[in-house]
Amino acid sequence: MARGGEKGQGRPASPEVQGRSGNPVPEPAVAAMFDRIAPVYDRLNTLMTLGLDGRWRRAAVAATAVAPGGAALDVACGTGKLAASLAERVGPFGRVVGVDLAPRMVAAARRTYRDIVQLEFQVANALDLPFAAEFDAATIAFGLRNLADYEAGFRQLARTVRPRGWVVCLELSLPRPRPLGRLYHATFRRFAPVAGSLFGQRDAYQYLPDSLEGFPDPEALAATMRQAGLVEVSFRRLALGAVALHRGRVP
């Protein structure tokens, strides 16, 4: 795995934080790629996660600890599945906002969930969130990996949450022990573009394993969250370590 900052953009990661500090692919290219795959994203996601993504999202919602009537922000919301689960949890007297950089993802989310009154979607950049500390929790699912600066992403999420609220991150990871992780990554590297090509999106689905290359392991990601000012940081490995669920509290 690359050491802090070798492959990432901008400042190097701290010595405690292993792996790259951000996604080296420029933001406009990331947004254009997700815009292209928006129409097939949900079907491909179900195929590639063998339908387990629903279970992971439910775990992320539970980790927010938001109560009925509460407010939550879902960053890099994609087609809106996690935001919709959060909206179900807070109920009609709550408020959930989903934001994403790719306008077609936001359009798809709005179309699918237009009847849920407590749920709205906006185009916004995770690294420049247009909110004050107005939410009880903020989430990011399979989105952090795409940001140019992971720590800055956590700082932004934390900034939108009231004191004592949770920031929750669901993200791909590499199974352990390391040889199993390498085998998994090699398989994923072959399988993702093939799955993408079934939907005419081979190139976009090459990006997926690329974005996992050098991404911090769960311990390093927890260190990044602490560097961003979060406290009581903890994580769970899901799916034999192929996914990690982190949370940290805003002091």
Q: Is 41 or 184 the residue whose CB approaches ligand SAM more closely?
A: 41
Residue spans of alpha helices (H) in the chain: 27-37, 41-48, 53-64, 81-90, 103-112, 150-159, 178-198, 204-212, 218-227
The yes or no reply on residue 82 touching ligand SAM (CB under 6 A) is yes
Helix (H, G, I), strand (E, B) or coil at 193: helix
Considering only the stretches 9-17, 89-97, 107-115, 119-127, report the one whose residues sit in contact with ligand SAM under the rule CB under 6 A.
Answer: 119-127
Task: List the interface residues with ligand SAM, window 158-217 (CB under 6 A).
Answer: none
The yes or no reply on residue 77 touching ligand SAM (CB under 6 A) is yes
The yes or no reply on residue 76 touching ligand SAM (CB under 6 A) is yes
Q: Is 3 or 189 the residue whose CB approaches ligand SAM more closely?
A: 189
Question: What CA–CA distance (Å, rounded) separates 197 from 206?
Answer: 10
CB of 96 to ligand SAM, least distance (A): 13
Pairing status of strand 243-249 against strand 161-172: antiparallel
Q: Which residue of this chain has its Cβ atom nearest to ligand SAM in the complex?
A: 78
Considering only the stretches 4-12, 124-132, 179-187, 218-226, report the one whose residues sit in contact with ligand SAM under the rule CB under 6 A.
Answer: 124-132
Q: Is 78 or 165 the residue whose CB approaches ligand SAM more closely?
A: 78
Among residues 163, 155, 140, 1, the alpha carbon closest in space to that of 76 is found at 140
Distance linking the first and last C-alpha atoms of the chain: 31
Site string for ligand SAM, 7-46 (x = CB under 6 A): --------------------x--xx--x----------x-
CB of 55 to ligand SAM, least distance (A): 13
The yes or no reply on residue 152 touching ligand SAM (CB under 6 A) is no
Question: What CA–CA distance (Å, rounded) separates 72 from 180?
Answer: 36
Residue 53's Cα: distance from chain center in Å? Answer: 12
Residue from 108, 119, 141, 225 binding ligand SAM (CB under 6 A): 141
Residue from 18, 21, 64, 146 binding ligand SAM (CB under 6 A): 146
| Inter-CA distances, 69 with 63, 93, 133, 203, Å | 17, 5, 17, 42
Question: What CA–CA distance (Å, rounded) separates 143 from 131?
Answer: 18
Considering only the stretches 85-93, 135-143, 161-169, 192-200, report the one whose residues sit in contact with ligand SAM under the rule CB under 6 A.
Answer: 135-143
CB 208 within 8 A of CB 192: yes
CB 41 within 8 A of CB 78: yes
The yes or no reply on residue 112 touching ligand SAM (CB under 6 A) is no
Applying CB under 6 A, the residues found at the interface with ligand SAM are: 27, 30-31, 34, 45, 76-78, 81-82, 100-102, 105, 125-127, 141-143, 146-147
